[in-house]
Chains A and B, each alone.
Chain A
């Protein structure tokens, strides 16, 4: 069974930094694209960003609100995912979840596509910027 456990949340002042960690078990992380998603209190979910595997160059994509301030990284040897958050704002207050990305493949004409989606989630870690 795949399990994800986030840690590192806490209270930080505006302009400060925080690093979140996500420990994965039951999965070989080097084979998995990974994602960070957050939920602002009382509101919906917001995608933060994703990191692809080494096979795909460990490419990282970010949501517009965090681009340039947040950095996603991975240490496959430790089965760990990280989210480095800098220049934090009050609006970054949220519960942060890491997720694995599942995938399925399908043919579109003669071209084969992989479709990725958020699959297994952790329970989240709370970040409060105040």
Chain B
């Protein structure tokens, strides 16, 4: 059971906008920054969003992050077939003194 809660799956058609949620508590998301990763199985996970809503260089602006209270969201606009992957949120947990991850959301591009 993951400390951060994500929906197990999401889907959309090319060009659509999709949002993935990540729910936590005051000891993690509520008090710390949220990070998002994209993972195509068999490859290295890739950092998409850091500090809640910042994109590293090279990440398209189709990807955006937000945070409110103890929840965060990753939005992908202009969906493309290459966006099909697993998406994970992460945050430091002050109570556990450990990084915690969401269970991951498998995004399918129909």
Interface residues of A (CB under 8 A from B): 4, 35, 37, 43-47, 61, 63-64, 97, 102, 104, 115, 117-124
B31 to chain A, nearest CB (A): 12
- Residue B43 CB within 8 A of the other chain: yes
From A97, which residue of chain B is reached at the shortest CB distance? B45
In the complex where A44-B101, A47-B99, A47-B100 touch, is A97 in contact with B44 (Cβ < 8 A)?
Answer: yes
Which of A47, A64, A123 has a CB less than 8 Å from the CB of B42? A123
Within 8 A of A (CB), among B8-57: 33, 35, 37, 42-47, 50-51, 54, 56
Assess whether A117 is in contact with B33, with CB atoms less than 8 Å apart.
yes
Q: In the docked arrangement, what's the CA distance between A107 and B98, Å?
A: 23
Which of B2, B46, B47, B104 gathers most chain A CB within 10 Å?
B47
Q: In the docked arrangement, what's the CA distance between A48 and B84, Å?
A: 27
